[in-house]
């Protein structure tokens, strides 16, 4: 297994939730971490609290110039790039009978195409370090939640994408994997304006018993899985469920 110490890691969407937790874990284990996000206050606060190991880059993953700036900042900060974590995403819910092309295009642009482009641009850097690309899928790829098809479809896309990328980039010694978290309390639904904080808490409480382990997860638990995939030198093309058994579909039948 590789050492995290001295790795250079770019985490998109590192200003909150799973991205923030992953940045904290990699930095604590000796990596140089670069985080990006659109809200300056969020990423700068995270970087300041982590310390010099963490560099913040304000940017939107849907904008090519910003993607380039993120990559360049990570290479400058860490002297190279070992790991790209395509974490930035938004929740998109719409009833099937009410689809709008604008929402579907925005969902795919943010949640899928941005990570495809960043990965493409990262290939020359990752080839030098025999590095890794890690995508965030979702348990929405294993359980069907009515109303969430735009989001679920984007997450299914990145899972499929990571397999083809692993096959295509394997000969260049770049590994690719996808993590599928179960329910973790973050601001993803709040940012989408879907629920109040109280409603979100109630929904997490309601979904807890659907997990085999009877509880939702933590950002640290997902970060540990991302760190494992960054280190595991003979693991590529996998979809790793980190979901407390939610994907099992435990039934009381």
Ligand X SMILES: NC(=O)c1ccc[n+]([C@@H]2O[C@H](COP(=O)([O-])OP(=O)(O)OC[C@H]3O[C@@H](n4cnc5c(N)ncnc54)[C@H](OP(=O)(O)O)[C@@H]3O)[C@@H](O)[C@H]2O)c1
Nearer to ligand X, 2 or 211 (CB): 211
Dihedral angle sign, alpha carbons of residues 184, 187, 192, 193: positive
166 Cβ contact list (under 8 Å, min separation 6)? 175, 176, 177, 236, 237
Question: CB 191 → ligand X: shortest distance, Å?
Answer: 5
Contact of 180 with 247, CB cutoff 8 Å: yes
Residues that bind ligand X (CB under 6 A): 12-13, 15-19, 36-39, 42, 60-62, 87-90, 110, 136, 138-139, 181, 183-184, 186-188, 191
Question: CB 243 → ligand X: shortest distance, Å?
Answer: 8
Nearer to ligand X, 155 or 175 (CB): 155
Nearer to ligand X, 8 or 186 (CB): 186
Nearer to ligand X, 39 or 128 (CB): 39
What are the DSSP E strand ranges found in the chain?
8-12, 32-37, 54-58, 83-86, 132-136, 175-181, 239-242
Catalytic residue among 99, 145, 151, 204: 151
Distance CA 58, CA 15 (A): 10
Question: CB 64 → ligand X: shortest distance, Å?
Answer: 12
Q: Give catalytic status of residue 151 as yes or no.
A: yes
Distance CA 163, CA 1 (A): 21
Question: CB 121 → ligand X: shortest distance, Å?
Answer: 15
Q: Which residues are catalytic?
A: 151
């Amino acid at each position: 297994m590789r050492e995290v110490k001295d790795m250079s890691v770019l985490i998109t969407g590192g200003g909150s939730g799973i991205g923030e937790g992953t940045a904290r874990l990699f930095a604590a284990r000796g990596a140089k971490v670069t985080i990006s996000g659109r809200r300056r206050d969020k990423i700068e606060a995270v970087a300041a609290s982590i310390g010099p190991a963490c560099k913040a880059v304000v940017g939107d993953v849907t904008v090519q110039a910003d993607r380039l700036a993120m990559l360049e900042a990570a290479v400058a900060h860490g002297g190279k790039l070992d790991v790209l974590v395509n974490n930035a995403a938004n929740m998109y819910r719409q009833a099937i009978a009410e689809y709008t092309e604008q929402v579907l295009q925005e969902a795919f642009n943010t949640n899928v195409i941005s990570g495809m482009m960043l990965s493409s641009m990262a290939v020359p850097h990752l080839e030098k370090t025999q590095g890794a690309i890690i995508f965030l899928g979702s348990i929405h790829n294993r359980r069907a939640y009515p109303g969430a098809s735009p989001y679920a479809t984007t997450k299914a896309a990145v899972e499929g994408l990571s397999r083809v990328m692993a096959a295509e980039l394997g000969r260049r010694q770049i590994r690719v994997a996808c993590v599928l978290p179960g329910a973790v309390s973050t601001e993803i639904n709040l940012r989408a304006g879907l629920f109040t904080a109280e409603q979100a808490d109630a929904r997490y409480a309601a979904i807890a018993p659907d997990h085999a382990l009877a509880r939702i997860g933590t950002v640290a638990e997902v970060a540990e899985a991302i760190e494992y995939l960054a280190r595991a030198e003979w693991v590529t093309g996998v979809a790793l469920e980190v979901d407390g058994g939610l994907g099992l579909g435990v039934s009381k039948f």
